[in-house]
């Protein structure tokens, strides 16, 4: 069930009480983390593997880090595996193509060595040592057998990525793993009979993240968006039923930061937004009022994944 917010209320909070608005939003997110960590800790003896899944710009990296900290506060040690390190070297296979949207299908599980990851998780669950690979996004190459890892007693390993609930990975691990799905599980009513969906709210995160950290222009993100959404329908949605816990990573104040920052740029790319079924993103950029946020956002906020 999506949580519903009212645009006028969000704008009023952003204008009249930015500090309280931010603190309240962050506290609600952290409570979900703590509640989930408590439940995970109770099943550690039988389930030392935590699979963290969610769509693009769900906040997986920060949430995995916060879960690690929350689990460790309960006296449970944790380690992490990034699925990014299981990307195959780009020159070792023919990259899949999304013909529907005329772009390389970077979301496809065919880009990853899921069988190796599955083997590693099964071995970790048995107490065996593995050698985690490393992937270099600059060179596009994977190096095998880089980092040794073994799970000790009362220790958990967290794996985050868009394919972490794929049957290739979860098969045979049902009794040894816990699955958490996270995303924006919220919508904003605009007071005019319309609403901004979770996908529209997530787009703002992705656009700013790509600009800040991947040297990609907003128009490039717009061009990729339909393929990203296609990937979510094909590669994430069919496996969401594996998730036993859900974390809503939406911070109610975030759209008052993200969309005003995109307002000018989106105005210049209305045709591209229309083709990508993102016309509502431009409307959001015109309706969310900016917030004076710099002094108040915590250093560990999930929002820093997107704004730096």
Per-residue pLDDT tens digits for 102-141: 888 888 999 999 999 999 999 999 999 999 999 998 899 9
CA separation, residue 5 to residues 29, 141, 153, 254, 263 (Å): 15, 44, 44, 12, 21
The phi and psi torsions of 95 (rounded to 5 degrees) equal -65, 135
Question: What is the per-residue pLDDT for 293?
Answer: 81
Closest CA to 82 of 133, 16, 18, 45: 133
Neighbouring residues of 302: CB distance < 8 A, sequence distance ≥ 6:
29, 59, 62, 63, 66, 249, 251
d(CA 74, CA 79): 15
d(CA 29, CA 19): 16
What is the band of 148 on the pLDDT scale with cuts at 50, 70, 90? very high
CATH code of 194's domain: 3.40.50.300
Per-residue model confidence as pLDDT tens digits over 56-78: 999 999 999 999 999 999 999 99
d(CA 266, CA 279): 10
**Is residue 200 pLDDT above 90, yes or no?**
yes
Question: What is the per-residue pLDDT for 166?
Answer: 92
Enclosing domain of residue 205: 3-307
How many C-beta atoms surround the C-beta of residue 77 within 10 A?
Answer: 14
What is the H or E stretch that residue 19 is in? helix 18-42
CA separation, residue 125 to residues 19, 42, 122, 175, 176 (Å): 44, 17, 5, 10, 7
d(CA 43, CA 299): 30
Look at the chain and report how many structural domains it folds into. 1
Q: In what order do the strands lie in the sheet with 245-248?
A: 77-82, 155-160, 49-53, 177-183, 245-248
Neighbouring residues of 226: CB distance < 8 A, sequence distance ≥ 6:
100, 101, 276, 277
How many C-beta atoms surround the C-beta of residue 96 within 10 A?
Answer: 14
Asked which of 152-156, 190-194, 237-241 is least confident by mean pLDDT, the reply is 152-156
**Is residue 101 pLDDT above 90, yes or no?**
no
Please state the rounded mean pLDDT for residues 97-103.
86
Please give the model's pTM, rounded to 2 decimal places.
0.91
What mean pLDDT value characterizes the chain? 93
Asked which of 66-80, 90-104, 217-231 is least confident by mean pLDDT, the reply is 90-104
């Amino acid at each position: 069930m999506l949580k519903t917010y009212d645009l006028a209320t969000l704008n009023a909070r952003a204008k009249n009480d930015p500090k309280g608005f931010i603190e309240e939003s962050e506290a609600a997110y952290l409570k979900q983390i703590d509640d989930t960590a408590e439940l995970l800790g109770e099943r550690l003896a039988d389930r030392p593997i935590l699979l963290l899944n969610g769509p693009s710009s769900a906040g997986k990296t920060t949430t995995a880090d916060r879960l690690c900290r929350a689990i460790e506060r309960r006296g449970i040690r944790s380690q992490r595996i990034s699925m990014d390190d299981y990307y195959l070297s780009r020159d070792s296979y023919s990259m899949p193509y999304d013909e529907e949207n005329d772009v390389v299908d970077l979301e496809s599980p065919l880009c990853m060595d899921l069988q190796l990851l599955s083997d590693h998780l099964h071995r970790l669950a048995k107490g065996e040592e593995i050698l985690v690979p490393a992937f270099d996004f600059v060179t596009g190459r994977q190096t095998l057998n880089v980092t040794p890892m073994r799970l000790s007693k009362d220790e958990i390993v967290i794996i985050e990525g868009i394919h972490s609930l794929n049957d290739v990975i979860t098969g045979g691990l049902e009794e040894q793993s816990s699955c958490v799905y996270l995303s924006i599980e919220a919508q904003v009513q605009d007071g005019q009979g319309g609403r901004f969906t979770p996908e529209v709210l997530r787009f703002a995160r992705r656009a700013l993240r790509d600009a800040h950290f991947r040297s990609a222009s907003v128009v490039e993100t717009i061009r990729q968006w339909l393929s990203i959404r296609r990937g979510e329908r094909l590669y994430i949605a069919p496996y969401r039923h594996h998730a036993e816990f859900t974390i809503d990573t939406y911070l109610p104040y975030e759209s008052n930061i993200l969309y005003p920052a995109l307002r000018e740029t989106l105005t210049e790319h209305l045709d591209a937004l229309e083709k990508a079924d993102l016309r509502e993103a431009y409307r959001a950029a015109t309706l969310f009022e900016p917030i004076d946020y710099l002094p108040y956002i915590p250093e560990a906020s999930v929002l820093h994944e997107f704004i730096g």
